[in-house]
Chains A and B, each alone.
Chain A
Amino acid sequence: MTETAPLTIRYFAWLRERVGLAEEQLRPPAEITTVATLIPWLAGRDAAHAHAFAARATIRCAVNQEFATPQDRVSPGDEIAFFPPVTGG
Chain B
Amino acid sequence: MARVAVQADPFDPGAELARLLAGRTDIGGIGCFIGTVRDTAEGRRLAALTLEHYPGMTERAIAAIAAEAERRWDLAGCTVIHRFGRLTPGAPIVLVLAAAAHRAPALAATSFLIDWLKTRAPFWKQEEWEDGATAWVAAKEADDAAAASWDQTSPGFTAG
Contact = CB atoms under 8 A, between A and B. Distances in A.
Interface in B33-72: 35, 51-54, 56-57, 60
Interface stretch (B11-19, B102-110, B150-158): B150-158
B53 A88 contact: yes
Nearest to B83: A88
Contact of B157 (A61, A65, A81, A87): A61
B117 A89 contact: yes
- Tier of interface size on chain A: 20 to 34
B156 A87 contact: no
A86 B52 contact: no
Interface in A45-89: 55-57, 59-62, 65-70, 81, 83-89
A59 B60 CA distance: 20
A86 B139 contact: yes
B55 to A, nearest CB: 10
Given A13-B126, A62-B57, A87 B160 contact: no
A65 B156 contact: no
Given A14-B136, A88-B51, A70 B119 contact: no
- Tier of interface size on chain B: 20 to 34
B56 A65 contact: yes
A13 B159 contact: no
B151 to A, nearest CB: 18
A42 B54 CA distance: 20
A78 B60 CA distance: 17
23 contacts: A12-B54, A35-B159, A56-B158, A57-B159, A59-B160, A60-B156, A62-B57, A62-B122, A65-B54, A65-B60, A81-B122, A84-B138, A85-B138, A86-B119, A86-B120, A87-B137, A87-B138, A88-B53, A88-B122, A88-B124, A89-B82, A89-B93, A89-B143
Interface of B: 35, 51-54, 56-57, 60, 82, 93-94, 114, 117-126, 136-140, 143, 155-160
Given A62-B54, A87-B123, A87-B139, 4 more contacts: A12-B122, A70-B159, A83-B124, A86-B120
